[in-house]
Amino acid sequence: MWENGCDIYYDVKRTHIPPGISQRAKLRLFNFIVNMALRLGILTEKLGISHRYTIWRAVFKGIPPKKTSKLIIKDLVFDNVPNAEEYGVDPNRIAIGGDSSGGTFATAICQHLVTRKDLPKLRAQILLYPFLQGVDFSLPSYQQNHSVPVLFRKRLLKHGSVYLTGTYFNTEDIWKSAHVPEERRAKYSQWISAKHIPDKFKTRGYVPVAPAPFSTESYKKAKHIFETMFSPLLAEDDIIQQLPDTFILTCEYDVVRDDGLLYKKRLEDHGIPVTWYHVVDGFHGIVCLVDYGPLEFPGTRSSLRHVVHFLKRV
């Protein structure tokens, strides 16, 4: 965990084992990469809705800027998988998940791990309102929810610029897709386009926007956004078709709603089982408000229960 400038790691060996478990090797392990400094695993255990079914390992990775994608992958890929049985975990029952940008990393790590034939295949991935692409910021959800708290479109791009380059830069051209090379647009539109979004998600307003002319300057500033570490939706088909069972949670009033919808379609097109839960009155970050008194919303616990039910099933 990166907290107050210090590295703190929650090791599998320190994970609480529920009482009454006699066959430790049959336990599940769920690695959750939290975008915010909220210990989701601890909170859900307090509520009594997670420890009965699985071990939650909450990992917050606020990787500081200026790290390359390869370094981030190295930081986030868990090296204990080959030794899972030593910690009482069935290596064939390991899942990974995350919320928001944590969902981005969880998706990228899952894609990376399918290339590691020396490791057991992950059993599942759980993605809560993930950011999955940096190609088109004019999708219906980006238009409809551009000023909906807590994640404004402008804030998303602002923080993204810092993450990619270590400094803020003008993202206006990025909004208009001027950073996307002409020769890539046809390929990317196979996966990232409003035409792949169901019409019912366009009823709150959507106006097709033609991309701006390509800008070399914009591309140079944002070129790393096309790496699958930051845009997992751009992974090739041979990677997508190897992915495990997937749970995707989307929220209606969320700027990245359509990222989740597009990834859902991409997975289903390749025959990957997808469990999808859409929070019709939800917004970005709603799950992290569990057990926060008046700040907790009706969709918070129901969303977590759907996650738990999915974990029970897999």
Burial per residue of 40-57, b for 16 or more beta-carbon CB atoms within 10 angstroms, e otherwise: bbebbbeeebbbebbbbb
Residue 240 confidence (pLDDT): 98
Active-site residue among 50, 99, 100, 101? Answer: 100
**Domain count of the fold of the chain:** 1
Instruction: Quickly list DSSP for 240-275.
Output: HTT--EEEEEEEEE-TTHHHHHHHHHHHHHTT--EE
Active-site residue among 101, 218, 284, 303? Answer: 284
What confidence category does residue 280 fall into, taking pLDDT thresholds of 50, 70 and 90?
very high
What confidence category does residue 87 fall into, taking pLDDT thresholds of 50, 70 and 90?
low
CATH number (domain holding residue 210): 3.40.50.1820
Residue 263 has pLDDT above 60, yes or no: yes
Higher pLDDT, 137 or 13: 137
Residue 270 has pLDDT above 90, yes or no: yes
Average predicted confidence (pLDDT) for the chain: 79
Residue 31 confidence (pLDDT): 62
Among this protein's residues, is 245 annotated catalytic?
no
Residue 65 confidence (pLDDT): 43
CA atoms within 13 A on the CB side of 17: 14
The predicted-structure confidence for 93-139, as pLDDT tens digits, reads as follows 888 888 998 899 889 889 988 998 888 889 999 999 999 999 999 99
pTM for the whole structure? 0.80
Question: What is the pLDDT averaged over residues 222-250?
Answer: 95
What confidence category does residue 198 fall into, taking pLDDT thresholds of 50, 70 and 90?
very high
Among this protein's residues, is 146 annotated catalytic?
no
Instruction: Give the DSSP H or E segment for 156.
Output: helix 153-165
Higher pLDDT, 167 or 9: 167
Residue 289 has pLDDT above 90, yes or no: no
Q: What percent of the chain has pLDDT over 90?
A: 45
Helix (H, G, I), strand (E, B) or coil at 216: helix
Residue 200: CB atoms within 10 A of its CB come to 7
Among this protein's residues, is 278 annotated catalytic?
no
Q: Can you give the residue range of the structural domain that contains 156?
A: 2-313
Residue 88 confidence (pLDDT): 66
Active-site residue among 245, 254, 258, 259? Answer: 254
